[in-house]
Amino acid sequence: MSRFLAEPSNVWLTGATSGIGEALARQLIREGHSLVVTGRRQSALDELASLDAARVRTAPADTTDTGELARVGSILDSGEPIDIAILNAGTCEYLDIEHFDSELIGRNIDTNVMGTVRSIEQALPRLRRTRRLGRPAALVIVGSSAWWFPFARAEGYGASKAALAYLAHSLRADLAREGIDVFLVSPGFVKTPLTDRNDFPMPFLVTADNAAKRVINGLKKGRHDIEFPRRFTWTLRLLGNLPQALVDRMAAAMARDTSGNQ
Ligand SMILES: NC(=O)c1ccc[n+]([C@@H]2O[C@H](COP(=O)([O-])OP(=O)(O)OC[C@H]3O[C@@H](n4cnc5c(N)ncnc54)[C@H](OP(=O)(O)O)[C@@H]3O)[C@@H](O)[C@H]2O)c1
């Protein structure tokens, strides 16, 4: 098991332009690491680069576009080999069950699952190169704890994050013999532009800075499953592991509460 970020490292970070990713970028820059930052919004990437032009390079891309990500791959190759790829870009669109919409579910899956998978396709050969140089290498996948309980309206988002958890654990098994560490980050509610759109109570909400701190601490300690805040994730695990019939009753009651229907 390797510990990361103890010394200046080269990090590729997706979803760096807002929320958890932006907070991660700012903290990593402050700690002296070098970053390649990815997102769709060039102006927000430039703002990060302005913090330290020598250590921050921008690599704009839409992670739903394989060609744009291939160009990021070339940018990664033009600098120091990356030690860590943090794949954090994601979206969340809730379903209105009255208007079941496969496109909406597809957008959650395309960005969260396939966007991460396309990014792994770029990261993995580069992390293998880092391993060949005798250095530790890590793939960090930002999932969610949301899928541990069947929340109403979260069919698309929850399914995408459940898929990411399986993907991360399966990759961890496959990559163990190459010595590439795979981390899965499963946050509870974090205050970001993504959750600012939510119209329901978000218990134990933490700030993006706090979330970034927990991710960085988890990487430093080599904790492969980084879950926070504990009060939320432990409660959710407990509820999600109750007998299914009980889980179904609670989930349906919560769905009625949020929709206002009986
Ligand atoms: N906030 C929470 O409570 C919470 C809880 C659990 C898990 N998460 C996960 O944490 C991650 C970050 O979420 P956040 O809350 O920080 O959301 P956010 O503030 O909306 O940030 C999302 C980031 O992803 C990027 N992104 C989205 N779609 C993209 C695409 N197609 N191509 C490239 N970049 C894309 C955005 O950049 P551009 O707009 O510049 O492209 C932005 O930097 C997501 O994976 C989310 O599912 C969040």
Run means of pLDDT, 10 residues per run, the chain, 262 residues: 90 98 98 98 98 98 98 97 98 97 98 98 98 98 97 97 98 98 98 93 95 98 98 96 97 79 38
Exactly one of 157, 183, 189, 232 is catalytic; name it. Answer: 157
- pLDDT, residue 257, reads 73
- pLDDT, residue 3, reads 87
Quick check: is 157 catalytic? yes
Enclosing domain of residue 91: 10-259
Residue 121 lies in a domain: yes
Q: Is the CB of 190 under 6 A from ligand 1?
A: yes
In terms of C-beta density within 10 A (0-12 exposed, 13-18 middle, 19 or more buried), how is residue 137 classed?
A: buried
- pLDDT, residue 262, reads 34
Which residue, chain included where needed, has tokens 């926070």? 228
The CATH number given to whatever domain includes residue 140 is: 3.40.50.720
The 3-state DSSP class for residue 262 equals coil
Domain total of the chain: 1
- Pocket test of ligand 1: the residue of 13, 14, 17, 20 to mutate, having most ligand atoms within 8 Å of its CB, is 20
Distance from residue 242's CA to the centre of ligand 1 (Å)? 30
- pLDDT, residue 205, reads 96
Residue 43 lies in a domain: yes
Using CA atoms, how far apart are residues 74 and 65, in angstroms rounded to an integer?
A: 15
- pLDDT, residue 256, reads 79
Q: Is the CB of 25 under 6 A from ligand 1?
A: no
Ligand 1 closest atom vs CA 17: 43
Q: Is the CB of 88 under 6 A from ligand 1?
A: yes
Cα angle 171, 14, 194 (rounded to 5 degrees) comes to 105
Distance from residue 213's CA to the centre of ligand 1 (Å)? 17
Q: Is the CB of 156 under 6 A from ligand 1?
A: no
Round the CA-based radius of gyration of the chain to a whole number and report it. 18
- pLDDT, residue 261, reads 42
Closest by CA to 51, choosing from 64, 76, 68, 34, is 34
Using CA atoms, how far apart are residues 9 and 84, in angstroms rounded to an integer?
A: 8
Q: Is the CB of 108 under 6 A from ligand 1?
A: no
Ligand 1 closest atom vs CA 185: 7
Closest by CA to 118, choosing from 141, 135, 151, is 141
Residue 4 lies in a domain: no
- pLDDT, residue 111, reads 98
Q: Is the CB of 229 under 6 A from ligand 1?
A: no
- Pocket test of ligand 1: the residue of 43, 88, 195 to mutate, having most ligand atoms within 8 Å of its CB, is 88
Distance from residue 14's CA to the centre of ligand 1 (Å)? 9
Cβ atoms within 10 Å, residue 190? 23
- pLDDT, residue 2, reads 77
Structural contact between residues 224 and 184, judged by C-beta atoms closer than 8 angstroms: yes
Residue 1 lies in a domain: no
Residue 180 lies in a domain: yes
Residue 92 lies in a domain: yes
Residue 127 lies in a domain: yes
Cβ atoms within 10 Å, residue 34? 19
Which protein residue has the closest C-alpha to ligand 1 atom 17? 194
Q: Is the CB of 20 under 6 A from ligand 1?
A: yes
With a pLDDT cut of 70, the percent of the chain lying above it is: 98
Residue 3 lies in a domain: no
